[in-house]
Amino acid sequence: MNEKLTKHLAPGHSTCAGCGIPAIVRTVLGATDDPVIVVSVTGCLEVTSTLYPYSAWKVPYIHSAFENGGATAAGIDGAIKALRKRNKIPAGKKIQVVVFAGDGGTYDIGLQSLSGALERQHDFLYVCYDNEAYMNTGGQRSGATPRGADTETTPAGKKSFGKLEKRKDLMSIVIAHHLKYAAQTNVAYLADLKMKAKKAFALDGPRFLLVLQPCTNLWKYPTSEYVRIGKMATETNFWPLWEYFDGKYKINWATENPKPIEDFLKTQGRFKHLFRPSGEKVIAEMQKEVNEEWKRLVNLVQI
């Protein structure tokens, strides 16, 4: 493997075949030449990259619990500032603090800690790899799980159609903390991810990237398909690519003819129950939500 690509994360970890998390980590960290300190919240990345007594990390690294990724980053930021005051770190030398966490440790368990760190305006980049459920602990639903998905705690059956609730709007929650930069991106669009990571690294204060990460295990698709399925999420407007910078919204990818949400749902076993009798009502509701969210985003861009 290219030595530059493995500068921060070595091969030999145990992520699943067809997992895009290593591509997310290498793309994000490869977007800066500054020294980095990585905080890894309990989740798929942490358990697959630090199998005792081995580690795939080649940079300073700390494992935090599910609930305190934001607090850990805040503590590191405070330590860096204290060392600067004591002239232990040269003036002008930028050190990037980067948090990697799944949706469980971001949308739900770690939200309070993240909110506090954002509100206090600590200097760090938070990257959420969003695979839309608690994959590390068995595939339970999370606040990121979309309506209709079959999970271990929202099973599809004769009288149920998976998760009933709409997914949490995390980006609006994050932006409400007065960040300068936040962006939604997708592992299937690595150029877009790298561009947004570079913008984030060039800024000070809290910054946030939300990255769609299809999961072969719970989404139930062939391991070779994560890029195709990731692109389908964006091509149907289920997962638009956009960014928020200094109060302004920008859409990074759009089409005049988005594909119907059915095209995305059909690629995954977690939605197969929606294609039986009465499932069309749930699909219609999901399509309505996608259309409404896209219209809302377009309106925000025009403000």
| HEC letters along 68-119 | CHHHHHHHHHHHHHHHHHCCCCCCCCCCEEEEEEECHHHHHCCHHHHHHHHH
Question: What pLDDT, in 10s, does the model give residues 270-290?
Answer: 999 999 988 999 999 999 999
pLDDT at 1 > cutoff 70:
no
Domain assignment of residue 193, yes or no: yes
pTM: 0.97
Question: What pLDDT, in 10s, does the model give residues 17-61?
Answer: 999 999 999 999 999 999 999 999 999 999 999 998 999 999 999
* pLDDT averaged over every residue in the chain: 95
Share of the chain above pLDDT 70, in %: 98
Domain assignment of residue 13, yes or no: no
Question: What pLDDT, in 10s, does the model give residues 107-154?
Answer: 999 999 999 999 999 999 999 999 999 998 999 999 999 999 999 999
The owner of tokens 């996608």 is 290
| 299/302 Cα distance (integer angstroms) | 5
Q: Are 125 and 96 in contact (CB under 8 A)?
A: yes
- The more confident residue out of 99 and 2 is 99
Domain assignment of residue 132, yes or no: yes
Domain assignment of residue 136, yes or no: yes
Domain assignment of residue 5, yes or no: no
Domain assignment of residue 57, yes or no: yes
Please state the rounded mean pLDDT for residues 210-233.
96
| 81/94 Cα distance (integer angstroms) | 11
Domain span at 127: 21-302
Domain assignment of residue 4, yes or no: no
pLDDT band at 159 (very low <50, low <70, confident <90, very high): confident
Please state the rounded mean pLDDT for residues 3-24.
89
Domain assignment of residue 213, yes or no: yes
| 29/96 Cα distance (integer angstroms) | 9
CATH assignment of the domain containing 64: 3.40.50.970
SS3 186: strand
Please state the rounded mean pLDDT for residues 73-87.
96
The number of folded domains in the chain is 1
The per-residue pLDDT for 30 is 96
Q: Is the peptide bond before 53 cis (omega within 30 degrees of 0)?
A: yes
The owner of tokens 């949308």 is 107
